[in-house]
Every structure is written in structure tokens, then in C-alpha cells.
Amino acid sequence: MRLSEHIYRTISSIRGPLLLVENVFSARMGEAVRILSPDNREMDGEVLKIEGDTVLIQVYEETRGLDIENSSVVFTDSIKKAPLSLDIIGRIFNGSSIPIDNLPMFIPEKLAPVTGFPMNPSARARPEEFIETGFSSIDGLNTLVKGQKLPIFSCAGLPSKELAAGILKNAALKGEKDKFVVVFVAIGLTYHEYSFYRSILEEMRMKFVAFVNMADEPVMERLLAPRLGLTVAEYLAFERGFDVLVVITDMTNYCDALREISTAREELPGRRGYPGYMYSDLASIYERAGRINDQEYGSSGSVTILPVVTMPEDDITHPIPDLTGYITEGQIVLSRELHQKGISPPVDVLPSLSRLMQRGIGEGHTREDHRKIANLLYKYYAKGRDLRRLEAIVGREGMTEDDRGMLNFADAFEREFVHQGMIRRSINETLDDGINLLKRFSLV
């Protein structure tokens, strides 16, 4: 035992994954603890609440086998740390960083706090350089760039997991395959979803690290998993020079876990029962994206975050997507109407937006004509969508020939440009498809 550790055998209550420990001399919020069971099992936990000398602890694992008299709690006087090494690449872990890929645990090179270290604002470089996802509706019209945080807003029942899986398989960085890594964080998965993602990870030819929290696992792991993933991403990016894309699904499960923990702490609820500090908590995750100025600080890596957010009740003003939108730099919006038409992925490009797109496209990044093609596609698709309301009133026969052409263009844009299933398209194929579509309707 280290000198800074303190052992207590004063557990007064065990309620599911929660322990109450009394007569604690010194404890800190968020402090990592170890719980020793009578059969010599060791479990990890975290301090949730402190009232006088009574401490509430959340256990990360099943508390079966613990009892009040013979179990002990070790306060470590430190926060949860993530084991780090290049050997972590290609591995799959649970939400507590325990391997679940039937391989032995690697030997850590170092340990780092899962809360990360604040990035010096003066060290930040502007997000730029194109990341290819393989999907035309993103690459062509809502381009993702290195260092950006760009959420995917979905509704319940829409194929957000298929879109995330496609990005896992298809994401690429121009000319830097050896220095590109995907960190995948899955929160609250069912066994069917886990089987789906596991098959995708096994098919991937690129480097990846995965943290998977199942729906029946401790709720605290749902808060821990994204922080473990981002700690690994920061290590690979800023110490090893990798460009890291972090895909997190689903942040709604994370926020529900945050609400559950807040209730256990008996905190005053905010909007719809979520804690008032949810904005700052989400910011502590999303703001870990970025690039560091390599000329001044000697680091060439980057962290890019692509979180999936399922909007409860299809409501984009719900606190989770609402607060996410304030912190991030745009959004990719999935449409139930397009999904019902059989469009896959059902990305609605009009409400979708990448605020940093301009910095990652054009000559030297994608193609010189990228901005022009994107502007024309947006312009004419928006016209066609607007004319659909007129068509519902007067019918297609009552419209002018030009208006019918715009309607036909909007239909063709959805069927041919947005719709692609899981087939990967390069940025050149995307832009060529866009300009050919415009030429077919004599719009360029």
C-alpha cells in the first residue's frame, strides 16, 4: 500500500452499485477508490458525494459478494488514470479499460488522468485539412476537417449506427495512412449492436482503439468510457504525432447516465431533469478536440471528434442536442423523411452544416472546384425542396417546365448523390457525381 492510501472498513450501506462509507477522515470528489471483497476480489470505484465524514461511492462493477462487515475500501488520493502505450492500438476494452478481446493486458508505458490536460489556447492551431469519410453528403457538402468537433444528430430508429460504422470503415486522411488512427467509443450498447460493431472492427484495415460499454454494465462506466477514449486520443496525437478521429456513440446514453448519477447525488435538477452543469460537462469532452501548433510546440497530431446524438422525441431543441450545438462546430442531421424514401444514409443536407468546411476544401486540400460545386448543389436542391410545397397544392401539371426541372433535380440529388448505402466514394468521385448531375439538368 502507498503512503497516500487510506483503508476503511466502515461501510454502512450497500445499495446496488452505491456504497456509503462512514468516518472517513479525508476524501476528494472524483477520487479513485478500490473496494476489496471478502473473497479477495478487487473492484474500482469513484467518490460521488461527500457529506461531513460520510462518503458515497459508485462502484464500476457488480457489487455481488460484498458485505458490510468484511469488505474494505481503499482511498487512493488520486483520480482515475488510463494506461497508455502504442500497444493499445488494435485493442478492444470495456468502459473501465479492461480488455474484452481475449488478449492479455498490455504493459503501460505511462498512466495519465482521464480528465486530460487543458490545451493552452495559444498553442491551438486552426482546424484544417480534409478528413475523408467516404460519404458524399458529408465530404462534398459538410466537410469534416482535422481538429473539428462535428456531431451527428439522429432520431430514434434512424440508421445512425450504420453511418457511424461506415465512417469507421471508410475514414481516411490524404497521404498519411500510417499516422491515422480511429478511436471508437460505444456507450450503452445492446448485445445486437455490439455484435454489429465488433464485426465492423474486425473488418477494418486501419488502426483503431475501441472502448465498449454495454447497457447492462455499471452506469459509471458510461461517463468513464469517452474520457478513456479521449485520453488515449490525446496521447496518440500530441505525444506520438498521430491524427486521431474519435467516434462516440451515443452521447444521449452518456447524458442519461449523467442524470442518473446526479440523482444519486441528490442534486437539484435542471431542464428535463438533467443536471445544471451538463453544458460544462459536455464541453469538458468536446473541447478536447483540436490541433497544436507544430512549429512552436513540436506536435503535429490532431484530435477530431464525431459524436452521435440521438434526439429524444425527435426534438432538436432538447437539452442534449441543444447544448451540443452550442459547443460544437456544426452538425450532420439525419432525416426521417429521407429514411422513409429509402435514402441511405438519410442525411438532410439543408439543416446540416460544417462551420469549418471552408478551411478544409479547395486547392491543396480537396479540389479547386469544390466550393463552386457545393454552392450550386445547395442552391438548386433548396429550390427543388421549396417547390415541393407548391407541388402539393397545384400538382406537378400546374407548374412551369423550369419548376418541374427543379423538382426532378431534387429527386435525382437525393437518389443519386445522397443515397449510396455503405459504398465508399472518394472525394473526386463525389465531386464528379455532383458536377455530372448539374450538367445533366443544364445547371452548370
Q: Can you tell me the distance from the alpha carbon of 49 to that of 28, in angstroms, rounded to the nearest whole number?
A: 9
Residues 6+ apart with CB under 8 A from 223: 254, 257, 258, 261
Which residues form the domain of 393?
Answer: 370-440
Q: Can you tell me the distance from the alpha carbon of 262 to that of 99, in angstroms, rounded to the nearest whole number?
A: 29
pLDDT of residue 298: 58
Helix (H) or strand (E) holding 33: strand 31-36
231 belongs to a structural domain: yes
Strands 330-333 and 152-155: parallel
Q: Are residues 70 and 107 in the same domain?
A: no
Q: Fill in the amino acid letter for 203.
A: E
Q: What's this model's pTM, rounded to 2 decimal places? A: 0.91
Q: How many residues does the chain have?
A: 444
pLDDT of residue 202: 86
Q: Are residues 108 and 197 in the same domain?
A: yes
Q: Are 255 and 274 in contact (CB under 8 A)?
A: yes
pLDDT of residue 176: 65
Q: Are residues 37 and 179 in the same domain?
A: no
Residue 89, CB half-sphere, CA atoms under 13 Å: how many? 17
pLDDT of residue 299: 67
Nearest to 183 by CA among 135, 217, 231: 231
Domain C-terminal end among 62, 79, 96:
79
pLDDT along the chain (444 residues), means of 10: 72 87 88 89 88 89 84 88 94 92 93 86 85 95 95 94 93 80 95 92 85 90 93 93 94 94 84 92 94 69 94 92 94 95 95 93 91 96 93 87 93 96 93 96 88
C-alpha 162, offset from chain centre: 14
Q: Are residues 247 and 376 in the same domain?
A: no
Contacts 24+ apart (CB under 8 A), 98-101: 100/212
pLDDT of residue 111: 92
Q: Are residues 355 and 305 in the same domain?
A: yes
Domain C-terminal end among 330, 360, 390:
360
Domain C-terminal end among 79, 113, 142:
79
312 burial type by CB count under 10 A (0-12 exposed, 13-18 middle, 19+ buried): middle
Domain CATH code at residue 42: 2.40.10.170
239 belongs to a structural domain: yes
> Any bridge partners for residue 210, and if so which?
92, 184
Q: pLDDT of 34-79, one tens digit each?
A: 999 888 888 888 898 888 899 999 888 778 888 888 899 999 888 8
1 belongs to a structural domain: no
pLDDT of residue 296: 56
Q: Are residues 253 and 316 in the same domain?
A: yes
Q: Are residues 112 and 129 in the same domain?
A: yes
**Number of domains within the chain:** 3
Domain CATH code at residue 173: 3.40.50.12240
